[in-house]
Amino acid sequence: MSPRWLLYLLCGVVLFPCQVLAEEGGTRVAVVDLAFIFEKYAMTRDLETAFEERRRRAATEADSRREAMESKRKKLLPLKPDSREFADLEQELTRLQIEFEVWATLQEKSLKEDHKRWLLRIYTNVREVVAKLAVESQIDLVVTYDRLAEDAPDSLALRQQILLQNILYFNDRIDLTQTVLARVNEQYDRDGGAAGLRLSAAPLLEGTAEPDGTVAASGAPGGVGDSRHPMSP
């Protein structure tokens, strides 16, 4: 018997049992819409509200500082440049300008760091729920999928979206999106919801710090940033 026929015979004997094993003990796969979960997660909503409040307070503080500098500039106008009063006032104005620049830099840095920290927290929370659900359901692999946006501005943008699609088809019965969303929101409520959120305050110059050094998140719904991505700075 030739080696080729022997190979065919082995395949005929072995292949069928292998296929049965693949069907019985193969990789179990599920899918989630991660972007949808991020968007509908109650923590995301409350954090967006908190960040909006923080931006509002920073804007109010910035306006107050600009008004103080403008007041100094107006007081300089009637004074003689070689007078002592002019020199003192100009020095005070310079100090205010430097303080404003430092304050604004610290505010921006703190805001970006908070965005990063809380976005990672959201991802970690979702991932832990997905992992627990996968273990409970004996699922080996969970992959994300994106919904194709039909309101793309042009064909080039639509083509880019199409090429970035990770999954072309799946049966709805393996979609865990709603289950994961329900669980992360239940866990968020058990942990205290919006009352448990705190944004770190930017380091402020002496005399301008908040009493408690933090900005508390309110529970009212709201939205900020780029609507395509929750919590974008």
116 found inside a domain = yes
1 found inside a domain = no
Which of residues 214 and 131 earns the better pLDDT score? 131
Domain range spanning residue 83?
A: 30-204
214 found inside a domain = no
24 found inside a domain = no
118 found inside a domain = yes
How many domains is the chain partitioned into structurally?
Answer: 1
Q: 195 near 219, Cβ under 8 Å?
A: yes
Length of the chain: 233
pTM (2 d.p.): 0.68
Q: What angle do CA 133, 139, 143 make, to 5 degrees?
A: 85
- Residue range 39-75, pLDDT digits in tens: 999 999 999 999 999 999 999 999 999 999 999 999 9
178 found inside a domain = yes
- In the prediction, which pLDDT does 202 show? 52
230 found inside a domain = no
212 found inside a domain = no
